[in-house]
Chain A
């Protein structure tokens, strides 16, 4: 699903964010990306959503080389990738419904279909009764779940999350991770960047670790998780 081949990224000014990163996350897999802040996690995710381009190497999603994607096509790529951010990236003056429906409005769905799908997405994250609220009145955990509902509302085959549990307490963090597990169970590939090592330690998923832009471990945390390596 996500394949990095000898990828390096050097920012203008000489700061080297990634060095010869190589890995492959399979279709239907759920994997964590970890490392200290500044290790290159965000850069790596940005290369997948084409917010940045690699300096050297190839990034492939579902076998397609992203370097062949033109600027105009990036919007369409992002419709295939559900993205979740630590800062939520919600429209604070619009209702929860409007926020979650945004990807569908952009794709040009009918009103009826939008209402149906948004309803289903909010149901999944347990915020069905908050549809008319504006995000600012919600708690941090609820805002994050609005972001998740928005990411999955158009049923993308791939979910990327950048520090989705960043500001949440361990209990809420676990709830969020459980949500991701549900989506993964439904066949969605999930790739989560987090520095919350405690959270990862409690689970048995493949964990990629970055240090100073280099991939230092690529393997399963403790023991293999059956059924995920197909």
Chain B
């Protein structure tokens, strides 16, 4: 619409096109600008890669930590269900009386399974796992007590009822100490809680840094196109029109940075998974690292794209306005 000349049509009104065509034009225009911005990044690949790298790595770090914390949580959930009670027997309890204890315990309704690890077996296992090896042979006597492992039934495996069972078991005369695995689980939970907070804090700080870095990159971009912007303003371009390509540049930084973060996180997880398999084998536990699911990947990409656009928006709103023809 012309402000000064009534009846003088500007732009699309001048040629009387339909709403549909206007809509198609809107999208093709945006698509063209998006592709142009991508082309611009392509023309200076080194500088673009550096910016994309900053974004990618900044998102990789919290994402990887997030996945690890999530996995730890899953492991602990698995273990909580099969909470196991370890009974350390008094020294002097023979294998025979231990077997008697086992027979008694098997009759308890709360108990699903019992297993006995004799001091000799315990020492053998300790030798393998601790890596102390032959050094243990020099011990005169076996310092390890016999251990009875009690697995409560599903009904009694919740932390409170398992605790009650533990108290009952402690009263048995052969038992010196009873320990519920849940205690360290609770500690682990607390630790995971702290880890989660730290990941969040780290993520927020990194995201701020990314927004500022993208903002600064776009600022330099804008300043290097100063002459072009002046010309566009002289022939009647609105700020919004001039801003658009820069916003698309921000979008592409975010998008490509997000893709880069995907690849990096997946590689890191593969590596961690590999090194964890060896570790897990020693403990006779099989555990598969849950990789990223689709929703996490989408969230990562969305976060990355929003950071790119936010950084560019921050810059564009200030600096495009400042450039005026003189």
Contact = CB atoms under 8 A, between A and B. Distances in A.
A147 to B, nearest CB: 10
Nearest to A61: B4
Contact of B325 (A51, A69, A102, A154): A51
B181 to A, nearest CB: 67
Nearest to A85: B234
Contacts of B228: 91
A24 interface: no
A199 to B, nearest CB: 24
Contact of B236 (A64, A76, A85): A76
A89 B234 contact: yes
B2 interface: yes
Contacts of A91: 227-228, 231
Given A62-B4, A80-B2, A113 B15 contact: yes
Contacts of A83: 234-235
Interface size for chain B: under 10, 10 to 19, 20 to 34, or 35 or more residues?
Answer: 20 to 34
A78 interface: yes
Query: Which bracket fits the contact residues of A?
Result: 20 to 34
Nearest to A69: B3
A79 B5 CA distance: 11
Contact of A109 (B4, B11, B239, B324): B11
A35 interface: no
Contacts of A85: 234
Given A76-B236, A103-B236, A110-B15, A89 B10 contact: no
A154 B11 CA distance: 9
Contact of B238 (A51, A69, A75, A150): A75
A106 interface: yes
A113 to B, nearest CB: 5
> What are the 5 A-B residue pairs with the smallest beta carbon separation, nearest first?
A107-B11, A79-B236, A78-B236, A75-B238, A103-B235
Interface of A: 49, 51, 61-62, 64, 69, 72-73, 75-80, 83, 85, 89-91, 102-103, 106-110, 113, 150, 154, 157
